[in-house]
């Protein structure tokens, strides 16, 4: 659920990480294939460590 402290002043945010286990998501991409910008953006949203250049380098190998 999205929470914006400025917009949602009547609500308070409680820590809940202890309620949920960690999850792993795998994204498969074929080597040598063209990816559109939205695909790179989706990958970046899933992992802050990956950016377009890193993904492009991995696809070209």
Domain ranges of the chain: 27-60
Q: Would you say residue 38 has pLDDT above 70?
A: yes
Whole-model pTM above 0.75?
no
Kindly tell me the sign of the dihedral angle through the C-alpha atoms of 16, 17, 18, 23.
positive
- Could you give phi then psi for residue 10, rounded to 5 degrees? -80, -5
Asked if 18 and 37 count as a contact pair (C-beta separation under 8 A), the reply is no
- Region 6-10 average pLDDT: 85
Q: Would you say residue 61 has pLDDT above 70?
A: no
The tens digit of pLDDT for each residue in 39-56 reads 999 999 988 899 899 998
Q: What's residue 19's pLDDT?
A: 92
CA distance 36 to 9: 38
């Amino acid at each position: 659920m999205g929470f914006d402290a400025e917009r949602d002043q009547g609500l308070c945010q409680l820590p809940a990480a202890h309620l949920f286990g960690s999850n792993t998501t795998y994204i498969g991409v074929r080597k040598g294939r063209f990816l559109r910008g939205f695909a790179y953006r989706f990958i970046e949203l899933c992992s802050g460590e990956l950016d377009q250049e890193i993904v492009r380098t991995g696809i070209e190998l």
